[in-house]
């Protein structure tokens, strides 16, 4: 069995892993080790369960069967499996977006609704973009029209998703040429399911085309709607300070963890946890107050908008329970382990499921409806308070670790930061890249996965990039990993960044790693990239920018959908675990090579985060060279081969 230090690189998690060992509790790491060796056919993507003539598996070495019973080859089998994963990921993000659109509609129609439009400025900007009449109309009327347009994007049968207009013309031209501009969010997902059923689409490149189309419908559709409408309802984030890691839990307070994804629920729990009457009730039960913390992307949602501290990321969900001080863990949808209920039985903790879409073993179900949102949120908080006196003092173990952080960056406020108060445009950012003060920018995002040392990939890669004057933007569980490692503090620039990035961070007081929110907020990154192209001087499309992306520890189907919309938007993207295409040589070649001709981006696979960071920097330098830009302004630790070419190109 692996030692705690071989499972996690995060001190609080190591402490908790020692504690669970002492208490003889099992976690996903034990289950992961018990699963080894994992199925080779599945890992390589060459097991097919699409019809019941099978299941079939084809031989990766050429000794056994080279075709399924129907004649499907390695490439066909792997491509069908992969696009079905895209369909699931895109569906998850988009259903989240649909729920937010539903809430906006309710807020618009019902004055007494618990949700109301909080950010009228963002609503106005969206209305203008979508061509909604604002003159002489109430914000409710405007919100109704905006929600109606958002709804229409899901079921639309033809045309182009409205937010694809945000992309640079050159990128849209590529999509049109390839026939992948998404028509409707749902339509593209359904078409994947049709095309991958037995005996339909049997050309791996053509199958991938539909995968790209559905993924673009996620990034420039479902996820973008989720982000923009959440901003309208709950306020666009502003930079703020908070803290991260399990040490935010307080032994003398009622601790509630919200875990999952949709802000509809978590926003109301935030309000309920601050309700006077409930705080008073907590005091009556002997607690000194109520602490709320988040896990997974819901953590990022309430961090970004309220500064609520983050308890941890994906692989810490069981460890949080093992502290013995969590009175209730409230879950909605996505990334929630079905193991939680059983583990919680060893403690006083109540697991409360809330979504009709997601029920869990040994959990109490308190159904959350938008119509009775605040009332239900209060009931949930009350349940947590009632649990507080039942804690078992002997089983409590709360690690001290918490790290301060700065979060709350958006496509709208990022340029304010980089431009300062007097230059509110993307010009300073582009100029910094053009002069080489910044070598480029990178997005490091995604999950945790027990196949990798917990958090190590995120943190090591991020440090290597900023040391080389690459500005990093982050979301999701990477953002939480970077926060815990102290990389979201402005001081991190002094400690870890190269001279160029350090200068910029000093001038504006920003951290070298910018937290842009949850995973649906990767749509913010798409907008940032489009704005950089529009600002001028860095080429005609996103594919020309000296930028790269990575998901060092990804695990979710959602991450696959993200990977595809990012690659199809022109970004070179390095994944820590390969896509399940390693047993399908033609498909693998296409995704790591040929796909670039169509969209400008492609995939690479590299488990070592430092090597992966260097691949990203090589790519950034090659893009600089292609733009005729010189090398980095200051000396950097990693000089890519391309850097010499960059210097030559600049004469
Ligand atoms: Ni993203 Fe968020 Fe985390 Fe991965 Fe899960 S929480 S939507 S999928 S594990 S980054
Ligand atoms: Fe086998 Fe073909 Fe059926 Fe897949 S679709 S299970 S390869 S027969």
Q: 651 pLDDT exceeds 80?
A: no
For ligand 1, atom 2, the nearest C-alpha belongs to 297
User: What is the tally of helices (H) and strands (E) in the chain?
Assistant: 29, 16
Would 62 be classed as within a structural domain?
no
Q: Which residues contact 534 (CB under 8 A, 6 or more apart)?
A: 168, 426
What is the DSSP code (8-state) at residue 488? T
Residues 420 and 556 in one domain: yes
Distance CA 570, CA 21 (A): 46
Which of 370, 395, 420 is at the close of a domain?
395
Residues 10 and 131 in one domain: no
Confidence band for 14, pLDDT divided at 50, 70 and 90 = very high
Would 109 be classed as within a structural domain?
yes
Distance CA 491, CA 529 (A): 26
- Over the stretch 296-348, which tens digit does the pLDDT of each residue have? 999 999 999 999 999 999 999 999 999 999 999 999 999 999 999 999 999 99
Q: Give yes or no for a cis peptide into 198 (omega within 30° of 0).
A: no
Residues 86 and 116 in one domain: yes
Rounded mean pLDDT, 27-55: 98
Residues 426 and 560 in one domain: yes
Q: How far is CA 555 from CA 19, 187, 314, 446, 575, in A?
A: 26, 25, 10, 8, 10
Residues 518 and 634 in one domain: yes
Would 464 be classed as within a structural domain?
yes
- Range(s) of the domain holding residue 33: 4-57
Using the mean position of ligand 2's atoms as its centre, give its distance from the Cα of residue 72 in Å: 7
What is the tally of structural domains in the chain?
Answer: 4
Q: Which residues pair with 240 in a beta bridge?
A: 407
The CATH number that applies at residue 645 is 3.40.50.2030
Rounded mean pLDDT, 145-155: 98
- Over the stretch 221-270, which tens digit does the pLDDT of each residue have? 999 999 999 999 999 999 999 999 999 999 999 999 999 999 999 999 99
Which of 345, 375, 395 is at the close of a domain?
395
- Over the stretch 559-576, which tens digit does the pLDDT of each residue have? 999 999 999 999 999 999
Which of 303, 314, 475, 557 most suits a substitution to test ligand 1, by most atoms within 8 Å of the C-beta? Answer: 314
Q: 507 pLDDT exceeds 60?
A: yes
Using the mean position of ligand 2's atoms as its centre, give its distance from the Cα of residue 142 in Å: 50
Which tokens hold the place of 223? 């996820």
Distance CA 122, CA 117 (A): 10
Confidence band for 642, pLDDT divided at 50, 70 and 90 = low
Would 236 be classed as within a structural domain?
no
Rounded mean pLDDT, 572-589: 98
Using the mean position of ligand 2's atoms as its centre, give its distance from the Cα of residue 242 in Å: 51
604 and 548 Cβ atoms separated by less than 8 Å: no
Of the bound ligands, which one is closest to the alpha carbon of residue 49? Answer: 2
Distance CA 539, CA 471 (A): 19
Ligand 1 atom closest to residue 334's alpha carbon, by position in its atom list: 5
Would 240 be classed as within a structural domain?
no
- Return the pLDDT at 335: 98
Which of 335, 449, 525 most suits a substitution to test ligand 1, by most atoms within 8 Å of the C-beta? Answer: 335
Decide whether any atom of ligand 1 lies within 6 Å of the 551 Cβ: no
Using the mean position of ligand 1's atoms as its centre, give its distance from the Cα of residue 296 in Å: 6
Residues 255 and 335 in one domain: yes
For ligand 2, atom 6, the nearest C-alpha belongs to 54
Using the mean position of ligand 1's atoms as its centre, give its distance from the Cα of residue 314 in Å: 7
Q: 157 pLDDT exceeds 90?
A: yes
Confidence band for 416, pLDDT divided at 50, 70 and 90 = confident
Range of weakest confidence among 155-169, 337-351, 418-432: 418-432
- Return the pLDDT at 415: 73
Rounded mean pLDDT, 494-511: 96
Rounded mean pLDDT, 486-502: 98
Which tokens hold the place of 348? 């006083």
Residues 505 and 538 in one domain: yes
Which of 360, 395, 430 is at the close of a domain?
395
The CATH number that applies at residue 147 is 1.20.1270.30
Would 238 be classed as within a structural domain?
no
Residues 488 and 634 in one domain: yes
265 and 248 Cβ atoms separated by less than 8 Å: no
Residues 122 and 204 in one domain: yes
Distance CA 410, CA 236 (A): 8
Distance CA 549, CA 219 (A): 14
Would 66 be classed as within a structural domain?
no
What DSSP line would sit under 420-460, residue for residue?
TTT--SSHHHHHHHHHTSS-EEEEE-----TTS-BTHHHHH
- Return the pLDDT at 527: 97
Residues 322 and 354 in one domain: yes
Q: 420 pLDDT exceeds 90?
A: no
Residue 407 or residue 644, greater confidence: 407
Ligand 2 atom closest to residue 56's alpha carbon, by position in its atom list: 1
Please report, rounded to a whole number, the percentage of residues in the chain having pLDDT higher than 90: 96
Rounded mean pLDDT, 466-470: 98
- Return the pLDDT at 425: 86
Residues 628 and 493 in one domain: yes
- Return the pLDDT at 422: 60
Mean pLDDT computed over every residue of the chain:
96
Using the mean position of ligand 2's atoms as its centre, give its distance from the Cα of residue 65 in Å: 12
Would 71 be classed as within a structural domain?
no
- Nearest partner of 215 among 567, 605, 591, judged by Cα: 567
Rounded mean pLDDT, 593-610: 98
Residues 166 and 286 in one domain: no
Rounded mean pLDDT, 361-365: 98
642 and 620 Cβ atoms separated by less than 8 Å: no
Rounded mean pLDDT, 152-180: 98
Rounded mean pLDDT, 63-75: 96
Confidence band for 650, pLDDT divided at 50, 70 and 90 = low
């Amino acid at each position: 069995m692996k030692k705690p230090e071989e499972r996690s690189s995060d001190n609080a998690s190591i402490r908790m892993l020692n504690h669970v060992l002492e208490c003889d509790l099992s976690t996903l790491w034990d289950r992961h080790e018990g699963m080894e060796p994992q199925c080779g056919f599945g890992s390589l993507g060459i097991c097919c369960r699409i019809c019941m003539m099978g299941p079939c598996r084809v031989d990766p070495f050429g000794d056994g069967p080279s075709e399924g019973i129907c004649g499907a080859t390695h490439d066909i089998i792997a491509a069908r499996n992969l696009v079905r994963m895209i369909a699931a990921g895109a569906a998850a993000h988009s259903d989240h977006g649909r729920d937010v659109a539903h809430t906006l509609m309710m807020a618009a129609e019902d004055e007494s609704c618990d949700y109301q439009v909080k950010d009228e400025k963002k609503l106005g900007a969206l209305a203008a973009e979508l061509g909604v009449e604002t003159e002489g109309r109430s914000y409710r009327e405007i919100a109704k029209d905006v929600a109606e347009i958002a709804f229409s994007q899901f079921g639309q049968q033809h045309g182009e998703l409205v937010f694809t207009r945000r992309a640079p013309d050159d990128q849209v031209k590529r999509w049109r040429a390839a026939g992948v501009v998404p028509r409707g969010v749902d339509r593209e997902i359904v078409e994947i399911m049709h095309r991958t059923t037995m005996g339909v689409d049997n050309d791996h490149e053509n199958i991938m085309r539909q995968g790209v189309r559905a993924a673009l419908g996620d990034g420039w559709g479902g996820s973008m709607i989720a982000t923009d409408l959440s901003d309208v309802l709950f306020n666009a984030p502003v930079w703020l300070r908070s803290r991260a890691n399990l040490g935010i839990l307080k032994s003398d307070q009622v601790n509630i963890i919200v875990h999952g994804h949709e802000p509809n629920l978590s926003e109301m729990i935030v309000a309920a946890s601050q309700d006077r009457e409930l705080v008073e009730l907590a005091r009556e039960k002997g607690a000194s107050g109520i602490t709320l913390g988040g896990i997974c992307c819901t953590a990022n949602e309430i961090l970004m908008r309220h500064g609520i501290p983050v308890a941890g990321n994906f692989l810490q969900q069981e460890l949080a329970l093992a502290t013995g001080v969590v009175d209730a863990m409230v879950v909605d949808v996505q990334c929630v382990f079905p193991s939680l209920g059983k583990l919680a039985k060893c403690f006083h903790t109540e697991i409360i499921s809330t979504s009709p879409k997601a029920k869990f073993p040994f959990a109490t179900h308190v159904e959350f409806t938008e119509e009775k949102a605040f009332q239900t949120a209060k009931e949930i908080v009350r349940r947590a308070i009632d649990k507080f006196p039942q804690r078992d003092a002997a089983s409590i173990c709360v690690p001290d670790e918490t790290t301060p952080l700065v979060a709350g960056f958006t496509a709208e406020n990022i340029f304010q930061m980089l431009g300062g108060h007097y230059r509110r445009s993307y010009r300073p950012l582009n100029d910094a890249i053009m002069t080489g003060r910044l070598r480029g920018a990178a997005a490091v995002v995604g999950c945790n996965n027990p196949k990798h040392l917990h958090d190590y990939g995120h943190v090591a890669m991020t440090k290597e990039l900023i040391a080389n004057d690459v500005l990093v933007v982050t979301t999701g569980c990477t953002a939480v990993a970077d926060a815990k490692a102290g990389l979201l503090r402005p001081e991190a620039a002094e400690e870890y960044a190269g001279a160029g990035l350090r200068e910029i961070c000093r001038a504006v007081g920003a951290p070298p790693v910018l937290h842009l929110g949850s995973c649906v907020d990767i749509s913010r990154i798409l907008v940032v990239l489009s704005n950089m192209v529009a600002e001028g001087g860095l080429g005609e499309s996103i594919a020309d920018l000296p930028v790269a992306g990575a998901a060092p520890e990804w695990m979710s189907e959602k991450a696959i959908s993200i990977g595809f919309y990012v690659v199809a938007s022109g970004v070179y993207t390095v994944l820590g675990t390969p896509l399940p295409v390693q047993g399908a040589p033609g498909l693998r070649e296409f995704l790591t090579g040929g796909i670039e001709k169509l969209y400008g981006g492609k995939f690479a696979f590299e488990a070592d985060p430092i090597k992966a960071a260097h691949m990203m920097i090589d790519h950034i330098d090659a893009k600089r060279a292609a733009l005729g830009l010189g090398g980095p302004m200051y000396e950097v630790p990693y000089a890519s081969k391309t850097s010499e070419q960059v210097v030559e190109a600049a004469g």
